[in-house]
Structure 1
């Protein structure tokens, strides 16, 4: 009987054992595939996402941003109206929408003259001509024309965009 040394037995068992399974190569292939998919997703995000955000930003930029309106409130006016027999009056409060701060400053500066224009314009009215909403719209257009007229020769119009009533009482 031959005795063998422990080193020889280990060498013989290694030579007779079947080879190790190729599990590590399958794991390596799966890992490389996952990294490839992650890289493709990152590339898609980098190249495609800005197009959508740029399109959204362009849509937002195209939409006009409404400007903040500038109003000048006038103190209420009370004027006598033309009527047969009994006295009638109109009490009216209004706001002027102006185009810019320069127009607002000019209106405030010339307010006494503008109030005088309003009193003359309103005092020659018959009470029946101020009843319907069409009458009020017509009156607003007349007030707009009268107040928007230049204050002196050589000066531009005042820059009044519209006239709004905030109180309107005929008695």
Structure 2
């Protein structure tokens, strides 16, 4: 009689199944960890990216119109002008207001030292505005900062 032995159960079958489940769980955890790290880094980049600050609203300081006599070149001429200053911040605006008599005096000096013929073209007026800005940006006292006026605009300009 031939005896045949029943096939022996291989103990490796349950172990290989457990190993497969363990590998799937491990792979899932790795994928979730990578996805979480990518999401975290994306959020960090968005938060770290410098946000362009909205430009501050300009501060305009309108000075009272003034009339000045110009340097004579054979005839008497005068200039009636209204000036508006553009300040970058409230601190400069406060300095202009506090030292308004000094501002007007400097402006009158800058205007009255001109000849009427030197204020005819737009380029000459632009040069006058630049000179006024330079004059006004000088400190009013030794311990004070400069004004930092960013623009001088003529709202009235009448040459007679």
TM interval, shorter chain, is 0.5 to 0.7
Q: Tell me the equivalent position of 1:158.
A: 147
Q: Deviations over 1:35-75 (max 9, x none)?
A: xxxxxxxxxxxxxxxxxxx9xx99xx856533211111001
Q: Deviations over 1:69-118 (max 9, x none)?
A: 11110011110011234321011111110011111011011000111111
Q: Tell me the equivalent position of 1:98.
A: 87
For the residue of structure 2 that corresponds to 1:160, the secondary structure is: coil
**1:144 and 2:133 equivalent?**
yes
Is the Cα–Cα contact under 8 Å of residues 73 and 115 in structure 2 kept in the other structure? no
5+ residue gaps in structure 1?
A: 1-53
**1:88 and 2:65 equivalent?**
no
Cα distance change, pair 63–158 in 1 and its aligned pair in 2 (3 A) = closer
Q: Tell me the equivalent position of 2:59.
A: 70
Cα drift, residue 165 of structure 1? 0.9
Match of 1:133 among 109, 116, 122: 122
Match of 1:114 among 90, 103, 126: 103
* Number of residue pairs aligned between Structure 1 and Structure 2: 114
Instruction: State the alpha-carbon separation in 2 of the partners of residues 121 and 167 from structure 1.
Output: 16
Q: Tell me the equivalent position of 1:29.
A: none
Considering fraction of residues, name the structure with more helix.
1
When the two structures are superposed, what TM-score results if normalisation uses the length of structure 2?
Answer: 0.65
Instruction: State the alpha-carbon separation in 2 of the partners of residues 63 and 124 from structure 1.
Output: 44
RMSD: 1.9
Cα drift, residue 121 of structure 1? 1.3
Q: Tell me the equivalent position of 1:37.
A: none
5+ residue gaps in structure 2?
A: 1-42
When the two structures are superposed, what TM-score results if normalisation uses the length of structure 1?
Answer: 0.61
For the residue of structure 2 that corresponds to 1:106, the secondary structure is: helix
For the residue of structure 2 that corresponds to 1:105, the secondary structure is: helix
